[in-house]
Structure 1
């Protein structure tokens, strides 16, 4: 493979990032029409939500894989390599495929750019690449598609799935989705299609009502956690799943945290609704083997280091709940994007007993500037570390046999740190 061609392809794809977020489906629909409607050539499961999308996708994928199916996934953002956004049975597509897809999509994107709808965004281009890959490059039995932003106007919302899944709803991306839980629920519920059943882990009564109204208008049913199916925590990372016709006890969940029990239950309910004979063995094995990098991922045993991409207040709340169960001294190293409610998020971290918070930044357009970092650290009374690598190097030279380091915040930050630690000789990788 000519690496220069791959880098050129990535440069073109990422170059479209400057176009920003451009909600709406017209460009996407026009591109797919010119590409022969690849979105119509597979069976899909569509997953939306504020948090928990990636974990739920992973649980569904692992169960279906353990049932003998070939499963394509589309997720974002990536943690290790760009290619992992489009994967088959957990394996990222090849560099050659990225180059071939770019050559296929680029002229179509140029044609669309000349229309009244304007040039496609980066996410629209990657979404088109995914549909084309699963239609023409590699045959799959099921595709599990994660919504990028919101739902109603997200570029993935051009497919007709077998099942829609809505994990959670929280106050994130309010500048695009609305200032209230109900408004955001309306945007997430925009993925609901006529007659397509919905699996929901949404908790707020107002959001549930919004989704129910949408479902009634689409003549379909919502299967709600806590009403149509239930879970019971029986130990850390162990649970019982129950619905009218099934009861599966003593399930081990491969991802840590009570919230992952909820995500796992959504996956179970989803696969049991497919027209397939999904066995209890496949469910048990799939959930136990689930791995999702950067989601409360234990990266190192000595010193103890966990990576968690808690990038909004709801994600931080979940992280704090899990961290409080550790009962040990915790150091938080966090970088939160400047357009997030970082003040509220840092205050949440400070609520963890016997903990300290260090705020840092990294090289990313939406990251805090150094001046913002200094001001925020002074206002919130946390340590400022403008250079996260220097901070980590110092931390790793000191003894921390009883302490836990949790690195959290933006998933883009987590990706950079994970790559650094993977190559670091000072940590005992798990």
Structure 2
């Protein structure tokens, strides 16, 4: 038995050695021995390539405004591991992580001896979350974010009240497929029999796959741009305003505090899901709950301004679609600024296109190494970049500290790339910027 939180984390992270092992049999094996805790939960399942975490955040905030206690399962974490399993946005305690680990650890050891092999880190954490939420006396609903893909993702043993599939891009192609259609097929794997699904998929081929799978599963599918429509969008300094038209009503002048046009799409998915839950009599949610929930929504690491003077922004744009969105926002909002970009990514990403787009908007681009098993090397990025002002750095902490000190009035620093990198950067920068402010 483990006795400390640190031991528990070490054991959990030690499962990373097993890599990614798609499939549901190990999860089903563990759930059977835990008494099928997932069957006692009311859940919403959120998949897609980009925007899953933000959509979870919008829906959680709306449900909280309506007075419900909301569990969330998300990945990866940004500041603290415990964030991955939260209730009303509050991460579970270190003691609870330790207790859950001691419940799952014996099962993992038993599973290791079977032909299925031991569970991965993600499978362990997913199993912990099911057990935790099922035994929590006050949880009204749990929002489950898909980890990877959908069809064979560890979370896909659930029977949700409704499913959400955000936009789809070419990510994890080494596992999910090389085309939008192949990736859409994996994402569409979370569509369940007769269970409504809301989607913001744009690619025609991917959308056809979604509709075909929904037809097979006799699941009503509601598509952004057809069944619910965003209009009258304009950006504010710190947020967006838009109108959402659905089959039953038009909600005008909706405000969100998260930056970027893409966030209106994520918000729309959350709104329509909330409306469905209300109309189906599953939860009581008013228009006021929706409006307040949207304005109160916060999700770390997504075009997040850490400092305004100097201007420092972090954004977990970890694939081509994410970088495209980031570059669009930088070009439209900060065209008068000198943009310094710091970038790191995982080696299983197609980062050549990502770098090419960043080259166009960055006056200076710096590639850095960070401590993660799947992290790509900064020198590899340097060879690809066509920027006239580029460099590779090994010690990103020292570099960022010095770079922030050197920023001039019209300069801005943008740190982007892997969410695993952002999760290391944010707590460091928050501490550094706070002490810098104090020292001034």
Q: Normalised by the size of structure 2, how large is the TM-score? A: 0.94
- The aligned counterpart of 2:330 is 323
Q: Does structure 2 conserve the Cα–Cα contact (< 8 Å) formed by 1:39 and 1:135?
A: yes
Q: How many angstroms apart in 1 are the aligned matches of 2:407 and 2:26? A: 55
Partner Cα separation in structure 2 for residue 234 and residue 19 of structure 1: 45
1:127 aligns with 2:98: no
Q: Take 2:121 and 2:45, find their aligned partners in 1: how far apart are those partners?
A: 20
Tell me how far apart the structure 2 counterparts of residues 74 and 371 of structure 1 sit (CA, whole Å): 35
Instruction: Give the deviation of 1:360 after TM superposition.
Output: 1.3
Alpha-carbon separation, structure 2, partners of 1:11 and 1:75: 20
| 2:319 equivalent in structure 1 | 312
Instruction: State the alpha-carbon separation in 2 of the partners of residues 233 and 347 from structure 1.
Output: 32
Question: Residues 399 and 373 from structure 1, CA distance in 2 versus in 1: closer, same or farther, beyond 3 angstroms?
Answer: closer
Residue 355 (structure 2) aligns with: 346
- Would you say 1:423 and 2:422 are equivalent positions? no
Contact 2:77 2:84 in 1 (8 A): yes
Structure 1 range deviating more: 168-177 or 391-400: 391-400
Is 1:241 the counterpart of 2:240 in the alignment?
Answer: no
Q: In 1, distance between residues paired with 2:338 and 2:358?
A: 13
The farther-off stretch of 105-114 and 81-90 is 105-114
C-alpha separation in 2, matches of 1:115 and 1:289: 47
Residue 293 of structure 1 pairs with residue 293 of structure 2: no
**Is residue 83–residue 93 contact of structure 1 (8 Å, CA) maintained in 2?**
yes
The yes-or-no answer on 1:387 pairing with 2:395 is yes
Deviation at 1:370, TM superposition (A): 5.2
In structure 2, the residue corresponding to 1:169 is in which secondary structure?
Answer: coil
- Residue by residue over 1:357-408, the C-alpha shift from the partner in whole angstroms, topping out at 9 and shown as x without a partner, is 2111111111123543553457986222222122212212224222221110
How big is the shift at 1:166?
0.2
Match of 2:97 in 1: 98
Matched, 1:396 2:404: yes
The answer for the alignment partner of 1:302 in structure 2 is 309
Do residues 366 (structure 1) and 365 (structure 2) align? Answer: no
CA distance in 2, matches of 1:277, 1:228: 22
Using the TM superposition, give the Cα deviation of residue 288 of structure 1 relative to its aligned residue in structure 2, in angstroms: 0.6
Structure 1: unaligned runs, 5 residues or longer:
none
Query: Contact 1:124 / 1:155 at 8 angstroms: preserved in 2?
Result: yes
- Listed as ranges, the gaps of 5+ residues in structure 2 are none
Contact 1:377 1:383 in 2 (8 A): no
Is 1:406 the counterpart of 2:414? The answer is: yes
Give the structure 2 partner of residue 189 of structure 1. Answer: 188
Report the CA distance between 1:412 and its aligned residue: 1.1
| Secondary structure at the counterpart of residue 38 of structure 2 | helix
CA RMSD of aligned residues (A): 1.7
1:281 paired residue number: 288
Q: Which residue of 1 aligns with 2:199?
A: 200
Moved more, 106-115 or 397-406: 397-406
Whether the 8 Å CA contact 1:421–1:427 is kept in 2: the answer is: no
1:149 lines up with 2:148 in the alignment: yes
Where do 1:19-34 residues align within 5 Å?
19-34=18-33
1:129 to 1:343, Cα distance in 2 relative to 1, 3 A = same
Cα contact 2:230–2:243 (8 A) shared by 1? yes
User: Does 2:346 match 1:337?
Assistant: yes
SS of corresponding position for 2:242 = strand
